[in-house]
Structure 1
Amino acid sequence: MEFLVAMGTGIVSKLGEMLMDPVTSQFKHLIHCEKNINKMKKELNNLKDRKRAIEGMVDADRRNGHHIAPNVEHWLYKVDNVVENELRKVYDDEFVNKNKKCLNGLCPNLVFRYSLSKKAGKMAQDLVSLKEQKFDFISYPAPLPTLGSTFTEGIKSFASRESIMAEVVEKLKGDEFNRLSVCGMGGVGKTTLVKELIKILEADKVFDEISMAIVSQVPDYRRIQGQIGDTLGLKFDKETLQGRAAQLLERLNKINKVLVVLDDVWTELDFELIGLPSNGQCHKGCKILFTSRNEDVCHRMISQRNFTMPVLSKEEAWDLFRDTVGGHVADKAEIHNIAKEVANECRGLPIAIVTIAKALGNKEKHAWEDALDQLRKSSLTSFSEMQEYSIYSCIELSYNFLGNEEAKFLLLLCSLFPEDFDIPIEVLLRYGVGLGLFKDLGALCKARNRVHTLVDTLKKRFLLLDSNEEECVKMHDVVRDTVITIGSKEEHGFAVKYDAGQTGSKELIWHHSAISLVFDEIKMHPKRLQCPNLRLLQVYLKRREPISENFFHNMSKLTVLGISNLCIPSVSSPFRLLNNLCTLRLEDCQVGDISVICKELRKLEVLSLAHSNIKELPAEIGKLSLLRLLDLTECNDLDQMSSGVLASLSNLEELYLRVRNFHWEEKNSILADLKSLSHQLKVLEISITGIHILDLELKSLVKFWIYVRDSTTLSHGFGRRGYLHPNILKLNGVYHKDIKENMAIQQLLKKSEILNLVDVKQLENVIYELDEEGFPHLKDLSIEFCNDLKYLTDETVYASSCVFPLLE
């Protein structure tokens, strides 16, 4: 019973408390209304102070390019919403001012007072909660922009570029290639192409990250690391190159698929010192693409595939020129034809096209005509925009960076030839020999190898181009103009070029050491050249006309003279003062009597009369004791050789006797002379009648073109324009027994790369009847009208892979 009473008392007491709490709370809201409102105002001011502080930090971070944290942005929005909207619901100043008595406790409207106090108290708590909200960070760095988005200029779509880009993209998408390169001459657009490639790769999401660094001619490894690190968001905290390299490599290894582009690479780079993966050091997803104007550098950096960028085609060049200058200008009736010719003069080099188009875009017709004149005359140095936009410095940098003085020398020699000329490599050799460039090499064959090596170097640097003509190279006009400018700027300039109709004797400056003259008409050339320091002179004429007797006056230092298509009826007068001449080329000339050459030119080492009309090789030529090369190619009027003339040439290394229908069978003394010097010859080109008279010692031959025919066969149909073709032997109308028994022919068969057998009589089995040991160097075998032939070889005795190991 007591328990029940106690329980009932507790319940009543609890019910009383529960009833009293709400009542007390209601009275508190009524009593503390003014206090709650003041607290709300105070907390509102505190919140505004915090908001101003946060906004200050937000503004500062935004100015630094940071992104504001979403929760901070939301907080600022919420604060604004509370101040602007929620507080009005609680505390309308205008309404409260009308009810001041209520706020002072004199208002009979207890309901209003209670509601206002309750809302103010709740709002004060909310304001405190907002003010005290904590943030881990206000902002964070903005994500790095994609590399492609930083490139402002695009590349116009050209077929010559699209095919390259498509193939590069294909290779980069696959797993087979991790190092690729793009090569080309300076100004051809390599950088523009790789930038467009980057945009394509980013759009296709081929890589997770793409980075790019510009290397330039003197690599700064720290700067390269910085450029790559910046695009990858990597902050280096190491001081040494090796430490930074380790950081960069670690960062690259953490990216699933990454491409690093190294632009404008001039020398082989140490990938390890940069922090780039060497082969096998990084996962397959890390790939490297580099651009260079030196193909050798790409090979040394183990590029698995090199893409060579050509100049633009004529149509592409015009499209680019027209777009750059603006169709509204290029299509004007008075400008259009001139614009087309100006575009053609740029020879497809994008940097020249864009530069000149920009320079002429707002010019009148007279400026266009003047520009065309300058371009045609190759006087681009006076075209100020060419200097302003560094076209010349772009090419000059490639020239200076060659390092090899012989390569520079050879490039200067190439600049002596006319525009768009097919430059014979053999002529470069002969000029170099005359200038003493290869004295340390000894034999001409070794010097020839050096010249070809230098030519390869210049081609791989895109300073020389391939030619469609055999054993020739070409030079881009802009490169040529630049090299001419380089040569003529020097105090004792090596190369200067004067074109037809532009040269008077007063213009031929004394200090020049090499000059090339090209004339349309003989009347336009000067009668006398005042060039006492001249060492090389080259003269071209479009039609044969006489040369002045005083043309070479005051040229005692001349060591190389090349004359084409001139008429020199009296050889003694023009050459009488050229005592130091080492190389003389009188090609395609009407030269008359040449017996006096030996009297005046005792230092000659190279003499070429190719394609000239000489009728006799006089005995006096034998007095040229230093002569190392004699070229009589296609001197088809040649009918007489003085006895002993060849035998007297004790230093002769190379003899070119590709002369049609010379009557060898009547020249027993000449054959004896030829036999006496054959052991010392390194190069022999000869068309000769009758295998029985080819009794020569030819073990020393390195290069040859030899055509042996019977007396009834005319020497034609087996011509050759260039030099240094693979070793050729043609046997026409002879008996196979004579071939087998002739020691000279057997020596030639061992070295032949091209063998042409025509109407070889009684030949049944090539190997057995000609040479049982086979043809170790043969690549091309041609057999015509050998009507008795049954077998090339008997495979029961000889395996074809042994007797024809290189046959193509």
Structure 2
Amino acid sequence: MGNVFSISLSCDTTISRCWDCVAGQVIYACRLQENLADLNTALDELKERRNDVVWKVNIAVQQNLRSLNEVRGWLSRAETMINEVDALLIDGSEEIKNLCLGGSCSKNCKSTLNFSKIVTKRLRDVKDLKENGAFEVVAMEAPAAPVVERPSDSAVGLESMFNKVWSAFEQKHVGIIGLYGVGGVGKTRLLTEINNKIGDSSGGFDMVIWVVVSKGFYIGKVQDDIAKGIGLFSGIWGAKAPEEKAIDIFRIIREKKFVLLLDDIWERVDLSKVGIPVPTQENGSKLIFTTRSTEVCGQMRAHMKIQVQCLPEEEAWKLFEEHVGKDVFDSHPNIRGLAQEVANECGGLPLALITIGRAMACKNTPEEWKYTIEVLKKSANFVFPNMGDEVYPLLKFSYDSLPNDMVRSCLLYCSLFPEDYEIDKEWLIDFWIGEGFLDEHDTISEARNQGHHIIGSLIHACLLEEGVGDLYIKMHDVIRDMSLWIACTCEAEKWKFLVQAGYHLTRMPEGGRWKDIRRMSLMKNEIENLIEAPNCPNLQTLFLNDNQQLKVIHNDFFQFMRGLKVLSFSGSNRIKALPVGIAKLVSLEFLDLSYTNIRKLPIQLKALRKLKCLNLSYIYCHITIPRGLMSGFSKLRILRTRDSYLFDEAVKTNNEHLLEELQCLNHLNALSLSVRSAFALDRYLNAERLHNYTEEIGLEILKDSNQLNILSLANIKSLHTLAVTECESLVEVKMEWAGEGRMIKAQSHIQTSLIATPHCFQSLHKVFISQCSKLRDLTWLILAPNLRDVLVSECDKMEEIINKITLRQVAELVGTLTPFVTLKSLTLRYLPELQRIYRNALPFSCIKEIRVLNCPKLRRLPLNSNSANGNKISIYGEKRWWEKLEWEDESTRNAFLPCFIAI
């Protein structure tokens, strides 16, 4: 038998599989036309979306934005898909021709089946691709390079300041640096140089962001500028709330090592609200900002505050020379010298140097330069109109930004003084009080506090400068010109200044110029007489200070000045008498006769019933005040008689009534006086009502006293200045007391009730001791915990300032007080026996300067490495003295070595 091969198939299964195959082909064939139509529609929709995205991208490109990678990728895929589907649709028309039996069958079933599957897949792909192209954002600003170099003007004159800032920038522990200074001093230029230097350095920063903040900023604007710098800015960005923006910025920046440069900030910028991590040593990031206010530096918690100051003379000249141009200097041999005078008038302010330098770039004759110098000394604005257009508006922005009209008035008032004038703070505040600028206060002390607050705010705004020590202020020349520009032009109706201070005038300006003037300053001239009676009904202030040739004041000079409120003859020392016509100044509230030689006040002054302030200080002749005159000044609030011969031996005769009359003045609130005898001191100490408002006392030429119990002055609670001078007989200043609440016996033999405490002289700020040749120490100074200024001069036997043995004797009174905690200035001059200031090192937490001259035995200062608490301190002295100085240790020496300035 042969092999038998047998296969058995189920008929039902075979029929079923065949039917499925035929049915599938029929379904694909039936749907092919429908799918092709859907694919064509989907393709049109994809093309529409592609066109929309391309349109958005083109608009973004025009805005210097960069399309996103995902958008560019989608457009590429869409273009490929469109081309493929276009070809597929063309092939589809051929496949349709192969269909028969009403489209339910194909002449080439296999081909039609495969093609139908491809169409179905492409239909899904086109729909998916179209959905993926629904972009909310198609482009963003391209992330900037780590540092974008910024265009910069010449950096001439900035070299030393730049090096100082860059040195601070490189210190790891310094994360925040504040650059402050007056407008136009070059802060932005300096910041630009820092920005560009970072780009050249290898600091490893991931990004450097520059933002101009300016006054009246809002968080969103700062965030937008930062977003542009880090590539976050886009269409949807603008719709986000500041809180959302802060989160986005923080998300990008927190992992980066960044430098943020904020230019021109006027108030604190809250970094957390912006989204900026605080720069620290740990994250290595940096923040540098510029401002016009030191207060902003504090608010921003700057690790280092650097004042951008006006240029010194040599650097200022280089900057000026560059903008004038070499051709001008070569045009005439005399121009260079004249140009240096013009440059000096700019006061080192870069903006003024540049603006005026450009204005002079076409002046080729000496006559033009001479004319410029002549008029520039009066006011730069009248020579250079662009100063008003370019420089002064920039500076005026600081003026406009002052808190109120009161502070603005106080600033403009300072322009009445000559250029480079050292303005005494206390004197200035008295003027402000006399003008009525300050608020109404119950006491002059409160008004003075407000005055000092205003001075501080003007210094912080860099509109005033600190003068010598802590007693004076100055106004920068360009700031002064700006103030006069405001007072004479911008606000002429309100102010109407006429200032010809320091003009070397020998006669008064023509009377016709006075008519509309409200405030006039003729200080520091050589006017010889006041004869003409000018018609000036609107005049409120007249400064005739320091006219040292002035002798004659005509009786009718004041007859048309009935609105005058402030009159000053201070420093016009040839004036010996006032005309009775001064009684016509019925509105006068402030009269300053200090540093004159007035021998007698006319009784007609009783007509000045509105007088609030009378200054008779530093009149070095015996001045007579008629009986009943002082008591007639019923509204008098301030009386100054320091260093005047009012309360001396003569008090027994022609002025014996004066103390009694002063006690009758109900509004008197501030008194300064000098006493020149034990008798005068007794009389004053018995006038207890005057103790309530005595601010300054001078004890001078006490020939009949060899001891002074300083506690006899302890009840004078408002005493802030004490001077002891030319007391050649004074051997000892005692602190005698008999315990709390008991009576003490003063050297003057009068009994005074006193509660002695370690803070007897709580308000005492200034002490001046000079020409007391027998004094050996000043240990009593420890009772004045708030001392700011101490000067000791020409005391031949002074051995110590604070004596250890004397301290032990008054230990119960002194307690644990540390001397000089608040001291700012200490001056020691011509003290041949001085060996020690204090036995231990002192904190000197507020000290700014120590001056030592001709103190050969002073071998050690009370300093250690912790003294001054990191504050900048200047130590002035002779080089040979400094070289012989002994130090507690090497670290102390190294800490104070940079502080020395040779004199």
TM over 0.5: yes
Shift in Å, 1:805: 5.6
Q: Which has the higher contact order (CA 8 A, sep 6+)?
A: 1
Q: 1:616 is paired with a residue of what secondary structure?
A: coil
Structure 1 match to 2:495: 493
Shift in Å, 1:229: 2.0
Quote the Cα distance in structure 2 between the aligned partners of 1:568 and 1:384: 41
Deviates more, 1:306-315 or 1:379-388: 379-388
Q: 2:559 is paired with a residue of what secondary structure?
A: coil
Structure 1 match to 2:358: 358
**Is structure 2 residue 189 aligned with structure 1 residue 180?**
no
Shift of the 305–672 alpha-carbon distance from structure 1 to 2, 3 Å rule, reads: closer
Shift of the 148–68 alpha-carbon distance from structure 1 to 2, 3 Å rule, reads: closer
Quote the Cα distance in structure 2 between the aligned partners of 1:313 and 1:793: 47
Match of 2:695 among 679, 683, 693: 683
Q: For residues 90-133 of structure 1, what are the alpha-carbon distances to aligned partners after superposition, in whole Å with 9 as ceiling and x for unaligned?
A: xxxxxxxxxxxxxxxxxxxxxxxxxxxxxxxxxxxxxxxxxxxx
Q: 1:420 is paired with a residue of what secondary structure?
A: coil
Structure 1 match to 2:196: 199
Q: For residues 646-691 of structure 1, what are the alpha-carbon distances to aligned partners after superposition, in whole Å with 9 as ceiling and x for unaligned?
A: 22223333332236xx3443x58x8168624333224131215336
Deviates more, 1:189-198 or 1:512-521: 512-521
Quote the Cα distance in structure 2 between the aligned partners of 1:805 and 1:657: 27
**Is structure 2 residue 741 aligned with structure 1 residue 741?**
no
**Is structure 2 residue 746 aligned with structure 1 residue 701?**
no
Q: Is the 8 A contact 2:147 2:198 kept in 1?
A: no
Structure 2 match to 1:480: 480
Percent of paired sites with the same residue? 24
Shift in Å, 1:383: 1.4
Structure 2 match to 1:625: 634
Shift of the 592–148 alpha-carbon distance from structure 1 to 2, 3 Å rule, reads: farther
List aligned pairs for 1:367-406, cutoff 5 A.
367-388=368-389, 390-406=390-406
Match of 2:538 among 516, 533, 537: 533
Quote the Cα distance in structure 2 between the aligned partners of 1:160 and 1:801: 48
Quote the Cα distance in structure 2 between the aligned partners of 1:741 and 1:286: 66
Shift in Å, 1:547: 2.4
Q: For residues 753-780 of structure 1, what are the alpha-carbon distances to aligned partners after superposition, in whole Å with 9 as ceiling and x for unaligned?
A: 659696889x99x98xx89x97655687
Shift of the 146–605 alpha-carbon distance from structure 1 to 2, 3 Å rule, reads: same
Q: For residues 337-359 of structure 1, what are the alpha-carbon distances to aligned partners after superposition, in whole Å with 9 as ceiling and x for unaligned?
A: 11111111111000000111111
Structure 2 match to 1:87: none
Deviates more, 1:685-694 or 1:191-200: 685-694
Q: For residues 205-226 of structure 1, what are the alpha-carbon distances to aligned partners after superposition, in whole Å with 9 as ceiling and x for unaligned?
A: 3222101111111214333222
**Is structure 2 residue 805 aligned with structure 1 residue 791?**
yes
Shift in Å, 1:514: 1.8
**Is structure 2 residue 245 aligned with structure 1 residue 262?**
no
Q: Which amino acid aligns with 1:232?
A: I
**Is structure 2 residue 816 aligned with structure 1 residue 802?**
yes
Q: Which amino acid aligns with 2:251?
A: E
Structure 1 match to 2:650: 640
Quote the Cα distance in structure 1 between the aligned partners of 2:326 and 2:233: 48
Shift of the 496–710 alpha-carbon distance from structure 1 to 2, 3 Å rule, reads: closer
Q: 1:584 is paired with a residue of what secondary structure?
A: strand
Match of 1:549 among 551, 555, 560: 555
**Is structure 2 residue 525 aligned with structure 1 residue 520?**
yes
Shift in Å, 1:588: 2.0
Quote the Cα distance in structure 2 between the aligned partners of 1:696 and 1:644: 23
Structure 2 match to 1:315: 314
Match of 1:593 among 600, 605, 613: 600
Quote the Cα distance in structure 2 between the aligned partners of 1:194 and 1:694: 55
Shift in Å, 1:784: 7.4
Quote the Cα distance in structure 2 between the aligned partners of 1:141 and 1:519: 62
Q: For residues 258-294 of structure 1, what are the alpha-carbon distances to aligned partners after superposition, in whole Å with 9 as ceiling and x for unaligned?
A: 01111011122233443333588x9723332110011
Q: Which amino acid aligns with 1:218?
A: G
Q: For residues 587-617 of structure 1, what are the alpha-carbon distances to aligned partners after superposition, in whole Å with 9 as ceiling and x for unaligned?
A: 2223232142642222222111222344134
Shift of the 744–212 alpha-carbon distance from structure 1 to 2, 3 Å rule, reads: farther
Q: Is the 8 A contact 1:544 1:589 kept in 2?
A: no
Shift in Å, 1:519: 5.5
Q: Which amino acid aligns with 1:654?
A: A
Q: Is the 8 A contact 1:568 1:589 kept in 2?
A: yes
Quote the Cα distance in structure 2 between the aligned partners of 1:140 and 1:696: 79
Shift of the 311–507 alpha-carbon distance from structure 1 to 2, 3 Å rule, reads: farther
Q: 1:703 is paired with a residue of what secondary structure?
A: coil
**Is structure 2 residue 591 aligned with structure 1 residue 584?**
yes
Q: Is the 8 A contact 1:778 1:804 kept in 2?
A: no
Q: Is the 8 A contact 1:271 1:278 kept in 2?
A: yes
**Is structure 2 residue 619 aligned with structure 1 residue 612?**
yes
Q: 1:418 is paired with a residue of what secondary structure?
A: coil
List aligned pairs for 1:158-173, cutoff 5 A.
158-171=158-171
Q: 1:537 is paired with a residue of what secondary structure?
A: strand
Structure 1 match to 2:250: 249
Q: 1:684 is paired with a residue of what secondary structure?
A: strand
Structure 1 match to 2:52: none
Quote the Cα distance in structure 2 between the aligned partners of 1:477 and 1:496: 17
More helix by share: 1
Quote the Cα distance in structure 2 between the aligned partners of 1:676 and 1:140: 79
Structure 2 match to 1:112: none
Shift in Å, 1:417: 0.4
Q: Which amino acid aligns with 2:660?
A: A
List aligned pairs for 1:295-334, cutoff 5 A.
295-332=294-331, 333-334=333-334
Quote the Cα distance in structure 2 between the aligned partners of 1:219 and 1:66: 25
Match of 1:562 among 557, 568, 572: 568
Shift in Å, 1:65: 7.1
Shift in Å, 1:194: 0.5
Deviates more, 1:324-333 or 1:473-482: 324-333
Q: Is the 8 A contact 2:496 2:516 kept in 1?
A: no
Shift in Å, 1:169: 2.4
Q: 2:599 is paired with a residue of what secondary structure?
A: coil
Quote the Cα distance in structure 1 between the aligned partners of 2:169 and 2:191: 10
Total equivalences in the alignment? 655
Shift of the 695–627 alpha-carbon distance from structure 1 to 2, 3 Å rule, reads: farther
Q: Is the 8 A contact 2:149 2:199 kept in 1?
A: no
Structure 1 match to 2:858: none
Q: Is the 8 A contact 1:314 1:344 kept in 2?
A: yes
Q: Which amino acid aligns with 1:622?
A: S
Q: Is the 8 A contact 2:672 2:694 kept in 1?
A: no
Quote the Cα distance in structure 2 between the aligned partners of 1:677 and 1:506: 46
List aligned pairs for 1:733-772, cutoff 5 A.
733=732, 741-742=745-746, 743=752, 750-751=761-762
Shift of the 802–738 alpha-carbon distance from structure 1 to 2, 3 Å rule, reads: closer
Q: Which amino acid aligns with 1:616?
A: I
Structure 2 match to 1:657: 673
Q: Is the 8 A contact 2:512 2:535 kept in 1?
A: no
Quote the Cα distance in structure 2 between the aligned partners of 1:158 and 1:522: 43
Shift in Å, 1:307: 0.6
Quote the Cα distance in structure 1 between the aligned partners of 2:297 and 2:727: 55
Q: Which amino acid aligns with 2:515?
A: W
Gaps of 5+ in 1: 1-57, 70-138, 714-730
Quote the Cα distance in structure 2 between the aligned partners of 1:161 and 1:710: 46
Shift of the 672–656 alpha-carbon distance from structure 1 to 2, 3 Å rule, reads: closer
Q: Which amino acid aligns with 1:585?
A: D
Structure number with greater Rg is 1
